[in-house]
Amino acid sequence: MNNLKMDLSSNGSPLSPVIIVENIASQLACSPVDKKVALQMDEEDELKYFREHFHIPKVKDLPPTNLALVDEDENCIYFAGNSLGLQPKKIKTYIDEELDKWAKMGVHGHMNGKRPWIFGDECIVELMADIVGAHKEEVALMNGLTVNLHLLLLSFFKPTTNRYKILMEAKAFPSDHYAVESQLQLHGLNVERSLLIIEPRKGEETLRIEDILAVIEKEGDSVAVIFFSGVQYYTGQLFDIPRITKAGQEKGCLVGFDMAHAVGNIELCLHDWGVDFACWCTYKYLNTGAGGLAGAYIHEKHSQTVKPMLTGWWGHEFKTRFLMENKLQLSPGINGFRLSNPPILLVCALQASLEIFSQTPMKLLRKKSILLTGYLEYLIRHYYSEDKEDPEKTYVKIITPSHIEERGCQLTLAFSIPVKSVFKELEKRGIACDMREPNALRVAPVPLYNSFRDVHRFIEILGSAITSAEQTADSTAHS
């Protein structure tokens, strides 16, 4: 039995997760919701060994766990990789190497050892470029995400009398929203007139591509920059990056993306899609730890024309950088945007993470991810209903689009009972996931370190968490 490898239908197209799950169940002669199906899928998972590269927290070590409700030696179910990825075991080794080097040779560490500090970022930038589908000259590793967004907008947003707007999706991540707002203000623009926001249709949670394209068509002539997320952090919606890029550019707009929730999650081809600029953090699916070294990208077509508005010595060409003559010889493209020497301890963390990714193509990770998240969706649809009037089943709605081309690994769930109480009950039982106001639970099975068994256990525990939350709601209603 080898379903994961035989997962093409007779016409060669990929089988849907539903069909794969049901095929396995019928071969095992059990129900599709039986734990045996999860164990079989783990057995067949070619990527299962990647889990060994990570520290998986134990339930007993998670602060909200109620020890009476769990087996304390169990690993936790970590579905919070969309917020902060787990720690690759190699990070500590690499950081220790640089701490030792510093202790032993001090300033000589800049030029010596296996990771000369002055080239720290450049040594690993190619690994990052592979993940985002760019040439290595198009990517720099520097700063944090929001800082990079500001640096890019300073150069890409050049409003004129007729073209002065920035177009974004509604409810963008607050930092992106504030960054854009403050950039408009920096140019003395009125935010209300200049910030164009696309909202979902009434009664809908996610955006339709035809609505996005219609706004671009209608308003494009006055839009200077279109700035969208690749994958929306709240809804988990994956936008059609190539179509938005093409439509915007046909209208004369520059098009940039925040890839924070897309990088390491879906396959990206920033260069081939012609995306003008992009930025991302690395502590979510790229697992580099809080505040990790961020990434920025500028398409090579801009390498001679788009210049940084703020400069520092690290943007100066390497050959003459240390002559200290104070005559700036700017590196082309994104490399000219570098300001400071790279933080080597953050480089170590990023290197450990990128080396894990380099062991498998994104295509394979994505293939597992589609099945893993599809399995989660399958089980949720089996046990719960999206109809609030359903007399049999509790209401749980999946806000994230069900088309696999329109999502990454995250599913966002909405409940009719208060989400906060469901979340608390999950946390007591050793689940790490994420709650966002007003009413969303975000769960992200990550293909690098989550298993099909994790998904199955999650569903079992979600059942008891919901029962418990319903009882609490009932008893408060009656008291």
Which residues make up the interface to ligand PLP (CB under 6 A)? 144-146, 173, 175-176, 229, 233, 258, 260-261, 281
Among residues 262 and 376, whose Cβ is nearest to ligand PLP?
Answer: 262
Other C-beta atoms closer than 10 Å to the C-beta of 324 total 9
Q: CA-to-CA distance for 305 and 128, rounded, in angstroms?
A: 24
Known binding residue 458? Answer is: no
Known binding residue 31? Answer is: no
Among residues 145 and 409, whose Cβ is nearest to ligand PLP?
Answer: 145
Smallest separation (angstroms) from ligand PLP to the CB of 391: 39
Known binding residue 395? Answer is: no
For residue 292, the 8-state DSSP code is P
Smallest separation (angstroms) from ligand PLP to the CB of 195: 16
Smallest separation (angstroms) from ligand PLP to the CB of 161: 30
Among residues 258 and 377, whose Cβ is nearest to ligand PLP?
Answer: 258
For residue 138, the 8-state DSSP code is G
- Token duo for residue 57: 């927290």
Smallest separation (angstroms) from ligand PLP to the CB of 148: 8
Smallest separation (angstroms) from ligand PLP to the CB of 479: 40
Smallest separation (angstroms) from ligand PLP to the CB of 469: 28
Among residues 146 and 245, whose Cβ is nearest to ligand PLP?
Answer: 146
Among residues 174 and 242, whose Cβ is nearest to ligand PLP?
Answer: 174
**Biggest CA pair distance of the chain:** 78
Is the separation of the CB atoms in 313 and 331 below 8 Å?
Answer: no
Q: CA-to-CA distance for 440 and 418, rounded, in angstroms?
A: 10
Nearest to 402 by CA among 389, 415, 412, 392: 412
Known binding residue 173? Answer is: yes
Known binding residue 206? Answer is: no
Smallest separation (angstroms) from ligand PLP to the CB of 465: 26
List strand residue ranges (DSSP E) for 39-90, in order. Answer: 54-55, 77-78, 87-88
For residue 70, the 8-state DSSP code is S
Among residues 14 and 144, whose Cβ is nearest to ligand PLP?
Answer: 144
Known binding residue 313? Answer is: yes
Known binding residue 449? Answer is: no
| Tokens 């690749």 found at | 230
CA distances from 169 to 87, 162, 210, 218, 327 (A): 31, 22, 14, 16, 41
Smallest separation (angstroms) from ligand PLP to the CB of 35: 34
CA distances from 405 to 49, 400, 443 (A): 26, 11, 18
Q: CA-to-CA distance for 270 and 133, rounded, in angstroms?
A: 5
Smallest separation (angstroms) from ligand PLP to the CB of 291: 7
Q: Reduced to 3 states, what is the DSSP secondary structure of residue 385?
A: strand
Known binding residue 176? Answer is: yes
Known binding residue 116? Answer is: no
Among residues 79 and 233, whose Cβ is nearest to ligand PLP?
Answer: 233
Nearest to 312 by CA among 336, 333, 342, 285: 336
Among residues 113 and 291, whose Cβ is nearest to ligand PLP?
Answer: 291
Q: Reduced to 3 states, what is the DSSP secondary structure of residue 36?
A: helix
Among residues 257 and 458, whose Cβ is nearest to ligand PLP?
Answer: 257
Among residues 83 and 358, whose Cβ is nearest to ligand PLP?
Answer: 83
Which residues make beta-bridge pairs with 88?
Answer: 54
Q: CA-to-CA distance for 189 and 172, rounded, in angstroms?
A: 20
Among residues 101 and 261, whose Cβ is nearest to ligand PLP?
Answer: 261
Smallest separation (angstroms) from ligand PLP to the CB of 338: 17
For residue 345, the 8-state DSSP code is H
Known binding residue 421? Answer is: no
Q: CA-to-CA distance for 131 and 404, rounded, in angstroms?
A: 20
For residue 460, the 8-state DSSP code is H
- Give the DSSP per-residue string, 366-398: HHHHHHHHHHHHHHHHHH-BS-TT-SSS-BEEE
For residue 201, the 8-state DSSP code is P
Taking each helix axis as running N to C, give the angle between helix 209-219 and helix 241-250, from 0 to 180 degrees, rounded to the nearest 10.
10
Q: CA-to-CA distance for 443 and 411, rounded, in angstroms?
A: 5
What element of type H or E holds 26? helix 17-28
What element of type H or E holds 213? helix 209-219
Smallest separation (angstroms) from ligand PLP to the CB of 316: 25
* Residues annotated within a binding site: 145-146, 173-176, 229, 258, 261, 283, 313, 341
* Residues annotated within a binding site for pyridoxal 5'-phosphate: 145-146, 173-176, 229, 258, 261, 283, 313, 341
